[in-house]
Amino acid sequence: MGNFEEVLEKAYQESYLPFIEVLQSHPQIKVSLHYSGVLYDWLEKTHPDLLERVAKMVVLGQIEPLTGAYYEPILPFIPDSDKIGQIESFSLRLQERFGRRPRGMWLAERVWEPDLPKPLAQAGIDYTFIDDIHFKAAGLREEELLGYYLTEEEGYLLKLFPISRKLRYLIPFAPKVQEVIDYLRSLATPSGERLIVLGDDGEKFGLWPETYEWVYQNGWLNDFFTALEENRDWIRMWSSEEWMRENESLGRVYLPTSAYQEMAEWALPAKSIPLYEELITRFKNGGELEWFEGFLRGGFHRNFLVKYPEANLMHKRMLRVSEKIARLSDEHGGLLMDEAKRLLYQAQCNCAYWHGIFGGLYLPHLRRAVYNRLIEAELITDELSHTKAHWLDKEIADFDRDGNPEILIDSPVINLYLAPHRGGSLFELDCRKRGLNLLDVLTRREEGYHREIPSLKEEETQLETKSIHERIKTKEENLEECLIFDRYHRASLIDHFLPPQTTLREFSQLEYEELGDFISEPYAHTMNREGNSFSVVLVRTGKVKIQGVDLPLLLKKRLKLVEGEALVEIGYELLNLSSMPIEALFGFEFNLSPQIRGGEGPGESKDIDLLKMEDKESGLRVYFRLEQPGSLWQFPIFTVSQSEKGFERILQANNLFFHWHISFRPNELWKTNLTIEIANAYSF
C-alpha cells in the first residue's frame, strides 16, 4: 500500500506476467496462487487480462487461488474483528472472479501466533502455509514435515502445510535445475505418501536482483517445469485440496509464536542482533545448524513496535481508528462504513510497520499511505458521530500504551496529538481533509547492520549465493557520514536551551550541549474550553545549566485551536526563577514530514517572521508566523537503511529550529508567539 506505480508495473512486466506465461506453457504444473489485495486491486485496474488468464487456469485446475487478509496485514497486529473482516472481504472478491470461495489462505509474512486458528476458522479458512522452522520450534524434525498438520484454538481447527526452506533456497537459485530434482529424489518413496511444499514470494521470479535474466532469459523456470514434467512417473504435482482429500494429516501440533528466521532476527533489539548472528554462525560453521535450528530462536515479531516507536504510534493510531469503526458499526451500516473499513484495512498493510531487508518503515511514501488511509477513515467515523459542522473534541488517554497519558484533540480540520510526559511535544498534526499527517517522520537509530557499513566497499560486494538474504552492497557514497543516531524522539515543539555560540552544524550533527532539561522530561498540562476555542497549557519548571550551575526556569507553552479554523496559535512564556541572569539560545524544534519543503532550504536564516512550507504532491501549504522575528536553522534528517538493493540514504524529516538569543535577569519573563496556518486545507 503506497508503493509507486512504476514499481508495480516493473514487477508486473518482469515477474507476475512472465511467471504466468511460463506456467501456462506447462499445463501439468500446479500452483496455489496468492495475490495480495493491494496487487489484486491494481491488476484489476491495470491488467485485468492477467486475472482473466488466471481465471481460465483456475477452471482447468492448474491454479488453486488462495485468499488472505485483504491488504496483507501482519495478522497478530490487528484486532480479531479486522482479521475476520479483511479475510472475508478478500474471499468474497475472489469468489466473484473465480467462482468459488477459497478455503486456503496465504499468511502475510508467515507470521504465526497460536490463537490465530479461531479468527481464521471464523473467517472460513480451512488451511494455510507456514515455514518449516515454526514446526522445528515445536520439536519436530525435517523428515516429519512431509505432509500437513492440524492445529486448533478453543477447538477451532486449522490445517497447516509446512513450507520447505531447502526448496525456498533451491528455487530458483540452484545453479542447475537437476539439483532440485535430485533433492526431491532423495525424499521420494515407492508409496508416494510424502508431500513437499514450496511457498514463497512471486517476486523471487524476476524482480529480485538479477533474477529476471536468470529465471526467464536463461530459462531456469522453464527448465525446472520441464524437469518436473519429465519426472512425472515419480513426482506428482498436487493442489492443496487434492492432497487433503486423499491424505490424512500427519498429526496434531501447536506452533509457538514464530516468523521466518530472518524476520525473527530483525525483530531483536539492534544490540542483540550481533549475539544472535554469532550463535547462528557458530552452528552453521559447525555443520550442526540443521539439528539445532528449531531451538535457536530470534526475537518476537511484535517487538518491531517497540524497536520503532514510530511503528508503534502508527499502530496505536490504527487501533484508535479501528475502535471508532467498531463502535459505530453496530449503529451505522451502509456504504460509508464500508468505505471506512476499506480504508482502515488498507492502512493495516504490514510493510510500513516493520523493517528487515526491505525498506518498510524507512520508506516515507509507505508511512504516508498508512496515515492517509487512517485519517480518511477516521474522518468518516467522526462525521457520522457529529451532527454539527464545527466541533472540537479532546481525549486524554494513554494513546501509545507507554503508561502515560497523551492529549488528543480532534476537529474536522485538524488533529493535534501531544505528549506532555515527553517534553510536552507535539507528535501528530493532521490536516484531516487532505489525509495528511504533517509530522510523519523517523528518528535516526542504530541498526544491527550499520556496523557492516564502514568495512564495505562502494562497488558491489558480490557474495557466493544469490539469495537475497546473503547479498548486501553499498549503494551510495559517504554513507558513514549519515550514521548519526538521535538522542530523543524527533517530534515537534521540542524546547532547547543551547550555549549562545552553538552553530547549525553542531546542532545538526548532535555535537552540541543541551543546557536545559525540557526535551524528554514531563510537562504538567491543563486544558480550557472558551466558547468556540480550546487551549492546552503545558508547564514545566526545569533547569538550565549556566556555567556549570543548574538554574530553575519555568517554561509555559499554550496551544489554542478555534473551531473550524486550520490554525494553531502557540504562545511561549519563559520565567527565570533563579537569582542569576540566564543567557542562552532558546528555541523550539519542528520535524516536518520529508515531503513538506520550503523556506530557504537547508541553512540559516536570520530575522525571519514568516516561513512557507509546501507539500508538492497535495499542494497543501503551511505557514509559520513568528510574532517576534527570530533565527531559523533548517536541515534534513537522513537515515541509512538497508533494502533489497543495498544500503541507502533516505530523507526522513525536515528539521526547523526557530530560536532566539535570550538573555534575561532573575524573575524576568520572556514571551513569544507563533501561529501555524495550513492553507488549502479544505480542497481535496
Assess contact for 147 and 194: CB atoms under 8 A: yes
Residues 6+ apart with CB under 8 A from 109: 74, 259, 260, 263, 301, 350
* Cell of residue 256, nine digits: 509457538
CA distance 244 to 242: 6
Candidates 319, 456, 483, 554; binder of a second copy (CB under 8 A) is 319
Q: Which stretch binds a second copy (CB under 8 A): 113-121, 200-208, 221-229, 524-532?
A: 113-121
CA distance 243 to 355: 36
Identified catalytic residue from 9, 49, 52, 201: 201
C-beta closer to a second copy: residue 252 or 612: 252
Q: Which stretch binds a second copy (CB under 8 A): 110-118, 182-190, 201-209, 602-610?
A: 110-118
Q: Which stretch binds a second copy (CB under 8 A): 20-28, 112-120, 347-355, 632-640?
A: 112-120
**From residue 27 to residue 66, what is the string marking binding to a second copy with x (rule CB under 8 A)?**
----------------------------------------
Candidates 297, 341, 489, 543; binder of a second copy (CB under 8 A) is 297
Query: How would you class 59 by CB atoms within 10 Å of its CB: exposed for 0-12, middle for 13-18, buried for 19 or more?
Result: exposed
Q: Which stretch binds a second copy (CB under 8 A): 298-306, 338-346, 347-355, 562-570?
A: 298-306
Beta-sheet pairing, 406-410 with 582-592 = unpaired
Continuous segment of H or E residues that includes residue 89:
helix 80-98
CA distance 595 to 601: 13
Residue 338 bears catalytic tag: no
441 counts as binding a second copy under rule CB under 8 A: no
Q: Which stretch binds a second copy (CB under 8 A): 150-158, 336-344, 426-434, 636-644?
A: 150-158
CB of 200 to a second copy, least distance (A): 24
155 counts as binding a second copy under rule CB under 8 A: yes
Query: How would you class 245 by CB atoms within 10 Å of its CB: exposed for 0-12, middle for 13-18, buried for 19 or more?
Result: exposed
* Dihedrals phi, psi of 356, to nearest 5 degrees: -140, -115
CB of 301 to a second copy, least distance (A): 8
CA-nearest of 598, 549, 643, 532 to 207 is: 643
Assess contact for 416 and 568: CB atoms under 8 A: yes
Q: Which stretch binds a second copy (CB under 8 A): 195-203, 303-311, 388-396, 556-564?
A: 303-311
For the residues of 164-222, what is the DSSP string, one character each?
A: PHHHHHHTTT-SSHHHHHHHHHHH--TT----------GGGTTTSTTHIIIIIIS-HHH
> Could you tell me how many residues make up the chain?
684
Residue 201 bears catalytic tag: yes
113 counts as binding a second copy under rule CB under 8 A: yes
Q: Which stretch binds a second copy (CB under 8 A): 180-188, 268-276, 427-435, 674-682?
A: 268-276
CA-nearest of 105, 96, 99 to 124 is: 105
398 counts as binding a second copy under rule CB under 8 A: yes
CB of 299 to a second copy, least distance (A): 5
Candidates 402, 460, 506, 677; binder of a second copy (CB under 8 A) is 402
Assess contact for 132 and 164: CB atoms under 8 A: yes
**From residue 269 to residue 288, what is the string marking binding to a second copy with x (rule CB under 8 A)?**
x--x--xx--x---------
253 counts as binding a second copy under rule CB under 8 A: yes
79 counts as binding a second copy under rule CB under 8 A: yes
C-beta closer to a second copy: residue 267 or 498: 267
CB of 28 to a second copy, least distance (A): 29
Instruction: Residue 204: count other Cβ atoms within 10 Å of its Cβ.
Output: 19
CA distance from start to end of the chain: 20
Candidates 7, 92, 306, 527; binder of a second copy (CB under 8 A) is 306
Q: Which positions from 481 through 540 interact with a second copy, judged by CB under 8 A?
A: none
Candidates 192, 251, 274, 619; binder of a second copy (CB under 8 A) is 251
**What Å distances lie between residue 248 and 106, 146, 171, CA to CA?**
21, 12, 27
CA distance 125 to 121: 5
CA distance 558 to 560: 7
Three-class DSSP category at 125: coil
Q: Within the chain, what is the greatest distance between any pair of CA atoms?
A: 94
Identified catalytic residue from 64, 72, 109, 406: 109
CB of 525 to a second copy, least distance (A): 17
Residue 442 DSSP class: -
Q: Which positions from 6 through 25 interact with a second copy, judged by CB under 8 A?
A: none
446 counts as binding a second copy under rule CB under 8 A: no
C-beta closer to a second copy: residue 123 or 253: 253
C-beta closer to a second copy: residue 208 or 304: 304
CB of 583 to a second copy, least distance (A): 31
CA distance 377 to 371: 10
292 counts as binding a second copy under rule CB under 8 A: yes
289 counts as binding a second copy under rule CB under 8 A: no
Query: How would you class 236 by CB atoms within 10 Å of its CB: exposed for 0-12, middle for 13-18, buried for 19 or more?
Result: middle
121 counts as binding a second copy under rule CB under 8 A: no
* Cell of residue 323, nine digits: 475502535
Active site residues: 109, 201
What residue ranges bind a second copy (CB under 8 A)? Answer: 76, 79-80, 113-115, 137-141, 150, 152, 154-155, 157, 159, 248-249, 251-257, 267-269, 272, 275-276, 279, 291-292, 294-300, 302-303, 305-306, 312, 316, 319, 323, 398, 401-404
